[in-house]
Amino acid sequence: MEKILVVDNDKEVRELVEVTLAAPGRRVLHAESGKMAIEMTLDQKPDLIIMDIVMPGEINGIEATRFIKKRQETKDVKIILLTAKVDPSFKKQGAEAGADNFFLKPFSPRELKEKVERTLNNFPDA
């Protein structure tokens, strides 16, 4: 069973992502904060994490990415970071933290699906 973890404090975003990516043989998990994302990653070992950079709470998306990518048992989990802001420093920080791919909000369902497939199959960007 393939597992995808969606991390966003906005429940609506998580649900839209889940509906878009739903497929046989795949489970979509939810986390609403960076802290929860780390806990669920350690617990569930997802194949892919789609995570918002900006989230309330003490751990944002970039920090959660850094944590997950540093740990031996979770470093192979693919991570796509989401951001609503076109801010080059985000991308730089995210890449340094080890994110596999980036995605700009708002996005269309088709774009999301393609991005997920490419990341899962190790083709970071078209």
Partner 1 sequence: MTQGADNPHCGVEEKSLTKKQVLKYAEDLAVLFRAEKNQRLRLEESNAQLKKYAEDLRLSHQELQDFLLTASHDLQEPLRKAVTFGDLLKTRFRQQLGPAGFEYIDRLAGAVQRMQRLLDDLSAYSRLTIETHPRAPANMGEVISDAVAGVKSQAEALGGSLKLEIQPNPVLEVDAPQIGQMFKCLVANGLKFRKRGVPPELVIRSRRTDDGKWEFTVRDNGIGFEEKYLDRIFKPFERLHPSGEYDGAGMGLTVCRKIVERHGGEITAKSSAGNGAAFFVVLPEKQSPPRS
Residue 117 touching partner 1 (CB under 8 A): no
Residue among 42 and 84 whose Cβ is closer to partner 1: 84
- Edge to edge, what strands does the sheet with 78-83 contain? 26-31, 2-7, 48-52, 78-83, 101-104
Q: For 67, phi and psi rounded to 5 degrees?
A: -60, -50
58 binds partner 1 (CB under 8 A): yes
Of 65, 93, 101, 119, the residue at the interface with partner 1 (CB under 8 A) is 93
Q: What is the contact mask toward partner 1 in residues 18 to 57, using x (rule: CB under 8 A)?
A: -xx-------------------------------xxx-xx
List of residues 6+ apart from 56 with CB closer than 8 A: 9, 33
Residues present in the chain in total: 126
63: left (phi over 0), alpha (psi -120 to 50) or beta: alpha
Would you count residue 85 as binding partner 1 (CB under 8 A)?
yes
Q: Is 72 helix (H, G, I), strand (E, B) or coil?
A: coil
- Of the candidate residues 43, 110, 122, 125, the single one contacting partner 1 (CB under 8 A): 110
> 46 or 94: whose CB is closer to partner 1?
94
List contacts with partner 1 (CB under 8 A). 10, 12-13, 16, 19-20, 52-54, 56-58, 60, 62, 84-85, 90, 93, 106, 108-110, 113
